[in-house]
Structure 1
Amino acid sequence: MPELHQSIAQHYHERTKYEPETLAAKSQRLDWAKQPVPFKEYRIGSDIDLKPYIQEIPETFVHDPQTQWWQRISRLLFRSYGLTARMPSLGNTVYLRSAPSAGGLYPAEVYLVSRGTPLLAPGLYNYQCRTHSLKLFWENDPWPALQEACFWHPALESTQLAIIVTAVFYRSAWRYEDRAYRRICLDTGHLLGNIELAGSITDYRPHLIGGFVDEAVNDLLYVDPLQEGAIAVLPLADLLDIRQNLPSGCTALPSATETNYPYIPDGELLAYFHSHTQIPPGITGKLNLPTVKQAKSLEDKYNFPFCLKVPTATTAIDWGDNLSNLEITIHKRRSTRAYNGEELNLDELKALLDFTYQPRNYINQNLDPAPDYFDLNLIQTFIAVCGVKGLETGCYYYAPKAQELRQIRFKNFRRELHFLCLGQELGRDAAAVVFHTADLKSAIAEYGDRVYRYLHLDAGHLGQRLNLAAIRLNLGVSGIGGFFDDQVNEVLGIPDDEAVLYITTLGRPR
């Protein structure tokens, strides 16, 4: 029986940890006959082809507002989740997308909700990435129902379009079993990072909403909640319409904290956990939504005495005229398969951290200086440095407010990182490895069990910014969602109350 003082989020985290003694017993041969298809198909509905608008507008249409509007929508969706490559694999074709996904399983689905614009009728649309098209599968006005499900969030009052992101659970659970929920949220976080940046490219400002009545949003989309569930809602403010130039708002609402739960068999934990992180129906009317969270303190969480402190302020990465280099980077991003073991420069590491954690430094490049997250105050960053010129080897805490690295352990961790990352050579050969962590108990006290989503979504969002910055600098980068949880804290000297959420490896590609 579970310990009742643990919430279901804590129980889920403990139950899905990898441990050296039990990992081999948990692993099983994949049933390739049951491999899920990472695309959603509809038997009915009409299609809107977006392919003609993905290229640059021909000169004859440069002053055509309708064509320009469609091009913005086309580019927004393509840069967020479009197909960027086709690769043969075991006799099949693997379709790679602009956002990375563990195992190439792509559990997220993207829906576009229209309130009704002169060019897009009110209704529900699914983004069909294989054909780069929109599938209209419901033609009535869904906006009032969406507003009610989101507690009349102010970002939905003036906007005309919204993206809803859902998770199709089996796509990841087929391979990663109950631990798949972690990877689903990390992968969705990658997608949220792309949506944020693609919005800047196309003059849209996504407003992130994580607090909504899950059942109502699922019903709105006509999805089976046992197979698929809403994860995030993003009203799209059109920055070319002054009326939609909205202030940031509340992104995260709490759920209940469940401590009275039965024994849950393996294979059923993921579905049970997701259902018990939902905000239930029955709350009516407008909530007194708080404004966007402010920093809780002017100090970073950890300020270790007598440690080496390395300033990280640096020159911003250049993303080109009209963010042209950002578009190119999103398109060519790939997860690195192997590193050559060579060192990075300290300036390269500083640039990676700057783009990931200091968005205000990019306002002059037309990037959002304060993009939406659920609560970055809950996320901590540690970096194991094995090969960075100008920086001693060891484990560092990154203090984003002070913009400095604080060394907490002196050691070269290559051998240990190889072990911690389940024997993956990426961990051994990387020049630096970034760890995102959170105090899970404190986070649950603030947001209930739903915070487990928020933490992993935010970690994935940060990870995607690291991905793109590394590719722009011609470095290698790869995220790792499988690791020996408890041993990470022990080996690196990270405080025990920090639960490891995500690992990103960085180095020179082989």
Structure 2
Amino acid sequence: MAEVKDSLAQHYHERTKYDPQTIASKSQGLDWSRQPVPFKEYKIGTSFDLKPYLKEDSEGFAGEEAAAWWRRLSRLLFCSYGLTAKMPTMMGDAMYLRAAPSAGGLYPAEVYLISRGTPLLPPGLYNYQPKTHSLIHFWENEVWKGLQDACFWHPVLDSTQMAIVTTAIFYRSYWRYQDRAYRRIYLDTGHLLGNIELACAMNDYRSHLMGGFADEAVDRLLYLDSEQEGTIAVIPLADLLDLKQNLPLASTVLPSETQTNYPFLRDGELLGYFHRATQIELSKPPKKIDIAAETSLEDKYNFPFCLKVSTATAPIHWGENLEGLEDTILRRRSTRAYSGANLSLDELKALLDFTYQPLHYIDQDLDGSPDYFDLSLIETFIAVSGVDGLEDGCYYYAPVAQELRQIRFKNFRQELHYLCLGQELGRDAGAVLFHTADLKTSVAKYGDRVYRYLHMDAGHLGQRLNLAAIGLNLGVSGIGGFFDEQVNEVLGIPADEAVLYITTLGRPRSQN
């Protein structure tokens, strides 16, 4: 009997695991002469300067109504992916930090805006330029029908006038992380999606997420070199000030084929092959899936006789007109070191509440049901090393029941130091949160493309954790590099749960 091979998604995940026995042999020194440029430039095109509209008194640049429209769009883009800091480096060149975090500060994502044609934004294609906070109008013809074709006539595109498209320039992450970069790219995109969701809510837009589209068709529409850059997500923007654009929710995903007959792939070939293999062809539109009907609203694990701790709490208050949330997005930084001091249980509850209970924030004008791909596939485990009022150990977080369920009794500080590749962040954090998924079950539901969806959802959740922590004056840092299999073994996480992402939470160490 012929051996049944794993799906390509499972094969990619296995091949890109970090293992203590092989990580040293696979690591490569960085070739600084080939360091990627983190900004895309266009030699031709019309520039729309968005900087004046970051000010409240921007009416002098346009009429009052026009200025208000531009101000909303300017702030949406700035809070999503704008530059928030300039840092010196040992190499001499400055490093620019953006509103959305990125592994290694490499920022593989590019943000495009497609206009159907509005009174203020002519039809065509625009690239967002974070360095100058401007839009470059590099293609001036109407392209909306082409976008609809490429998105299999998704119903939200019938009524909306603008759409954000995020892409990835693969080499920016590959330069440092090799084939494992594909994981980082989608986690980074998830961070960006989290910002877009919240920035839209703050500016009277509603983002409608789409992960299912004909990849090559959207790439061609944007004039991308698909060997170097690929479309990752399409996000139509519904203007909530226009009653016609208050639209019902629609499907965010389309399945792809599951490939088990793939060739032998050398290191360095895996990322590109996997991306091409998970694409959807325009000539073969897949069957649409009703996520509402398919998604389970039950918590997956209910361990018998375990300690259960309620996480119900009052929501974080983000201030009048969400000013506190905007400030938090713009001052967010990844924490470099923790003091080792404990968190409080109330702080941990607040972090989980903002991340997993969006319905609690409707009164603050945030979306109570923001778009994800399929959160029923994502599980959350938390290793608690220092939380006052909570016993040390590993817990499963049950978002529906809003409770923590203890599965192991132990302080894991030293093990976390090891699992996180010797990073002190894992050792000194008060709590370390793990997002996981059953890859086999996920692939059976959506095909190999689900690997994209899982990592974007994990990154999206991670960004909400980021912002909640910064809003509470806590430290937070995501970790995409870890010893994959040892995580399950040490923490007692079920073996079929593949670890997608780690977020460390603690009290920041003073840098004075």
Same fold flag (TM > 0.5):
yes
Pair 1:176 & 2:177 matched: yes
Structure 2 SS opposite 1:216: helix
Q: Which residue of 2 aligns with 1:499?
A: 498
Cα distance in 1 for residues equivalent to 2:130 and 2:112:
11
1:80-479 to 2 correspondence within 5 Å?
80-90=80-90, 91-283=92-284, 289-294=288-293, 296-479=295-478
Separation in 2, partners of 1:197, 1:88: 30
Deviations 1:98-157 (A, max 9, x none): 000000000000000000000000000000000000001111111001001111001100
**1:386 and 1:412 in contact (8 A); partners too:** yes
Q: Which moved more, 1:43-52 or 1:232-241?
A: 43-52
Offset from partner CA, 1:322-370 (integer Å, 9 cap, x none): 0000000000000000000000000000000000000000000000000
Deviations along 1:42-68, one digit per CA (max 9) or x if unpaired, are 111111100000122357789811000
Q: Which residue of 1 aligns with 2:13?
A: 13
**Structure-2 separation of matches of 1:402 and 1:14:** 33
Summarize deviations over 1:153-200 as a string: whole Å, max 9, x none: 011000000000001100000000000000000000000000000001
Distance 2:420 2:323 in 1: 35
Deviation string 1:378-412 (CA, Å, 9 cap, x unpaired) is 00000000000000000000000000000000000
String of CA shifts for 1:205-244, please: whole Å, max 9, x gaps.
0000001000100000000111000010000000000000
Residues 294 and 429 (structure 1), Cα distance of their counterparts in 2 relative to 1, 3 Å cut: farther
Deviation at 1:268, TM superposition (A): 1.1
Q: CA deviation at 1:288?
A: 6.8
Q: Deviation of residue 423 (structure 1)?
A: 0.2
Asked if 1:57 is matched to 2:38, the reply is no
What is the letter of the counterpart of residue 31 of structure 2? Answer: D
Deviation at 1:298, TM superposition (A): 4.4
Report the alpha carbon displacement of residue 293 of structure 1 after superposing the two structures with TM: 2.5
Alignment check: 8 A CA contact 1:378 1:443 kept = yes
What is the CA–CA distance in structure 2 between the aligned matches of 1:480 and 1:46, rounded to whole Å?
Answer: 39
Query: In 2, Cα distance between the equivalents of 1:297 and 1:195?
Result: 26
Number of residue pairs aligned between Structure 1 and Structure 2: 507
Q: Whole-Å Cα distance in 2 between the matches of residues 59 and 436 of structure 1? A: 45
- State the 1:5 CA deviation: 1.7
- The amino acid across from 2:278 in the alignment is T
Distance of 2:265 and 2:289 partners within structure 1: 35
What is the alpha-carbon distance in structure 1 between the residues aligned to residue 467 and residue 383 of structure 2? 20
- Point out where structure 2 has 5 or more consecutive residues left out of the alignment: none
Alignment-mate amino acid for residue 110 of structure 2: E
Matched residue SS, 2:261? coil
- Provide the aligned C-alpha RMSD in A: 1.4
Q: What corresponds to 1:46 in structure 2? A: 46
Deviation at 1:281, TM superposition (A): 2.2
CA gap 1:60/1:108 in 2 versus in 1, 3 angstroms: closer
Q: In the aligned structure 2, how far is the partner of 1:390 from the partner of 1:34? A: 50
Cα offsets for 1:462-484 (capped at 9, x unmatched): 00000000000000000000000
Distance in 1, matches of 2:58 and 2:81, equals 24
> What secondary structure sits across from 2:253 in the alignment?
coil
**Structure 1: runs of 5 or more not aligned:** none
User: What is the SS of the residue equivalent to 1:164?
Assistant: strand
> Counterpart of 2:94 in 1: which secondary structure?
strand
Secondary structure of 2:447's counterpart equals helix
Match of 1:70 in 2: 70
Matched-pair contact (CA < 8 Å) for 1:248–1:292: no
Q: Give the CA deviation at 1:291.
A: 4.2
Is the contact between residue 100 and residue 195 of structure 2 (CA under 8 Å) also seen in structure 1? Answer: yes
Cα distance in structure 2, aligned partners of 1:383 and 1:393? 10
- 1:508 matches 2:503: no
Secondary structure class of the residue paired with 1:454: helix
Q: Alpha-carbon deviation of 1:296?
A: 3.7
Q: Does 1:29 align with 2:32?
A: no
User: Does the CA-based 8 Å contact 1:249-1:290 persist in structure 2?
Assistant: no
Q: Distance in 2 between matches of 1:406 and 1:305?
A: 9
TM-score w.r.t. length of structure 1: 0.98
Letter in 1 for 2:490: V
Give, in whole Å, the separation in 1 of the partners of 2:68 and 2:240.
14
Q: Distance in 1 between matches of 2:313 and 2:141?
A: 51
Residues 294 and 504 of structure 1: CA distance in aligned 2, closer, same or farther (over 3 Å): farther
Does the CA-based 8 Å contact 2:462-2:503 persist in structure 1? Answer: yes
Over residues 78-100 of structure 1, what are the superposed CA-to-partner deviations in whole Å (9 max), with x where a residue is unaligned? 00000000011021100000000
Contact persistence 2:253–2:289 (CA under 8 A): no
SS at match of 2:485: helix
Q: Percent identity?
A: 73
Determine the C-alpha separation between the residues in 1 that align with 2:83 and 2:157. Answer: 29
Equivalent-residue separation in structure 2 for 1:422 and 1:58 (angstroms):
49
3-state SS of paired residue (2:327): helix
Q: 1:63 to 1:350 in 2, by over 3 A?
A: farther
Does the 8 Å contact 1:178/1:266 carry over to 2?
yes
